[in-house]
Amino acid sequence: MAVATGAQLVARTLRDLGVTVIFGIVGIPVVEIAEEAINLGIRFVAFRNEQACSYAASVYGYMTGRPGVCLVVGGPGVLHALAGIGNASANNFPLLVLAGSAETAGVTKGAFQEMDAVSFLTPHTKFAVRTSSLDFISGAVKNAYRTCWYGRPGPTFVDLPADIIQGKSTPGFSLPQPETTLVPSPPKASGDPALIHKATQLLKKARSPLLIVGKGAAYARAESGINRLVEQTQIPFLPTPMGKGVVPDSHPLNASSARSTALKHADVVLVLGARLNWILHFGEPPKWSPKAKIIQVDICAEEIGRNAGTAELGILGDIDLVVDQLLSSLSDWRYAPSPPEGRFPSLLAASAKKNETKAQKAALLPTPQNSFLTYQRAYHIIKSTLNALTPFEEGNIVYVSEGANTMDISRSIFPLNHPRQRLDAGTYATMGVGMGYIIAAHEAYNASTTGSSKSKKIIALEGDSAFGFSAMEIETLARYRIPALIYVINNSGIYHGDTTTEDAWKTLQDQTASNDTTSEDGKKGLRSTSLLYETRYEMLATMCGGKGYFVRNEQELEVATREGYLSDTVTVVNVIVEPRIGKKIGFAWQGNHQDGQAKL
């Protein structure tokens, strides 16, 4: 290639780095990069909103273990993509964002979509740089790709001025050879042997040991070693939301059904790839025992000793390698409690039985005629129907969930036996990730698959509010023929809704329009959590040539689930469920809730 444009150099560098898919939205001047990438065989998935494409690229990095790539325009495109950048930073997902920008000569003049994106994004990324010449493109993209992936994963950013994208190299300009561009997988470090020994001694002396498995363990592909650790030591384990499946949920040592009891009574806790943040109540009382000794294993030194952690007990290193070290050090030991130590397994068993019985009762309670489906009953029907089509043990389904009650309750009902097959709002509690995550999961598991053995059905459980953040991406799903099955769990409101009948809702709507006096229940007009009553979300699928189902009862839900799973096009099932009137607003896994819904 004697003469190359900047767009060709960007596309060629991405191809040589091993990038196979780019998520983005094009416009002047980045459309030229997208077209050149397509010409080189890179799949470009064009979205309807930069938030959704940046969410998709971020979680693609988590699922594949290699950076996701997002391409957007400058100015407002970067502002919208900040949502995915923040999501990647909070969740430690490797993400490379590329954006166009104003031509160099137009800076400070009020050029088209002008913004100092590097200054803006520097606080939110691991690395942000503006390319100054064609010679600089390949090195800048490569370094950004490497930086987002190495160490603690996170987002990086490369700003590409329009004149650089559209510029042409001088004759004789030589591109780096592919072998010099390819970035090898990040180096891995084992734990300090002295700290491994200390952790081993603590576990051996523990009366109530507990293992917590986070999504960092899933990202590290440490499932084989962690399963051997659980089997060898017989220590109960507790997965975080996206740590589910690293050890099968069906394992008898899974303490998810007794989460609060496990945290409150554990005296030594081995934390693998999870942070002591709000999801784990900071490792602090009253959720945790004040006497608990916490052994943190993390790739990031800054996490060691954070909140209730103790720096002297932290182990810095790759989770897979550290687990192998622990296995060797614990080779002659197995947790076999005897009185009074045996009280911990008994407490877990009693708590789990109580909560599982309660959940089972709610799931098996038939819906009375002319009554709303409950969340638990709707999920039971969905799960039973799906399990008849493809047993969950086979791992043929990837679950995406977002929303408050929709996500919380689903966590304990849909089991996983395989890692990286549950995606949800994550550390940032981000609403609007659902549609982007569906597309990313399809690209990660299906787009390049030639055989059916690795094919996954993507199933989303969306709150009606959460779905609205990115609902137009249904058209993207239809355009790329992604046969996702999407349930909109519709209670006509944010969190729990506030009315049970259409007439009651219309009364509140009329009060809002007329600024009428306060109603008998002390409320006036639509609440801040109100949404349009029984919105027909399923029509978004039918308008794009997909399938839509409006569901009010158990029989309709079973039919929609069966047909939607077998469909080869995008399917939206609009499930009308009970408004949870009078319930406390909040996430079950955030506040002072009991075990019944506080399952991670």
Cβ neighbors of 521 (< 8 A, separation 6 or more) are none
Sheet holding 547-551, edge to edge: 422-423, 397-402, 457-463, 485-490, 571-576, 547-551
CATH of 6-166, picked from 3.40.630.70, 3.40.50.970, 3.90.850.10, 3.40.50.720, is 3.40.50.970
Domain residue ranges of the chain, discontinuous segments joined by +: 6-166, 193-351, 365-576
Contact 29, 100 (CB under 8 A): yes
Between CA 235 and CA 229 the distance in angstroms is 8
Going residue by residue through the chain, which has 600 residues, state the pLDDT in tens, using 9 for 90 and above. Answer: 568 899 999 999 999 999 999 999 999 999 999 999 999 999 999 999 999 999 999 999 999 999 999 999 999 999 999 999 999 999 999 999 999 998 888 788 887 888 999 999 999 999 999 999 999 999 999 999 999 999 999 999 999 999 999 999 877 677 778 877 889 999 999 999 999 999 999 999 999 999 999 999 999 999 999 999 999 999 999 999 999 999 999 999 999 999 999 999 999 999 999 999 999 999 999 999 999 999 999 999 999 999 999 988 999 999 999 999 999 999 999 998 877 656 899 999 999 999 999 999 989 889 998 889 999 999 999 999 999 999 988 899 999 999 988 998 998 899 999 999 999 999 998 999 999 999 999 999 987 543 334 689 999 999 999 999 999 999 999 999 999 999 999 999 888 776 778 888 788 788 888 876 555 556 677 888 889 999 999 999 999 999 999 999 999 999 999 999 999 999 999 999 998 655 665 555 555 544 433 333
Question: DSSP characters for 288-320?
Answer: S-TT-EEEEEES-GGGTT-TT--GGG-EES-HH
pLDDT of residue 594: 42
365-576: CATH homologous superfamily?
A: Thiamin diphosphate (ThDP)-binding fold, Pyr/PP domains (3.40.50.970)
User: Cβ contacts of residue 565 below 8 Å, gap of 6+?
Assistant: 385, 386, 389, 390, 457, 459, 485
Helices (H), 343-404: 343-364, 375-389
- What digits encode the pLDDT tens for the residues 144-196? 999 999 999 999 999 999 999 999 987 767 777 887 788 999 999 999 999 99
Burial of 16 (0-12, 13-18, 19+ CB in 10 A): buried
Tell me which residue of 98, 100, 66, 101 sits closest to 85, measured CA to CA. Answer: 98
- Alpha-carbon distances of 445 from 54, 60, 468, 485, 548, rounded to whole Å: 18, 10, 25, 15, 24
Pick the CATH number of 193-351 from 3.40.50.1220, 3.40.190.10, 3.40.50.2300, 3.20.20.140: 3.40.50.1220
Tell me the C-alpha to C-alpha distance, in Å, between residue 534 and each of 409, 488, 555: 21, 11, 19
For residue 428, give the DSSP letter: T
- Stated pTM of the model: 0.93
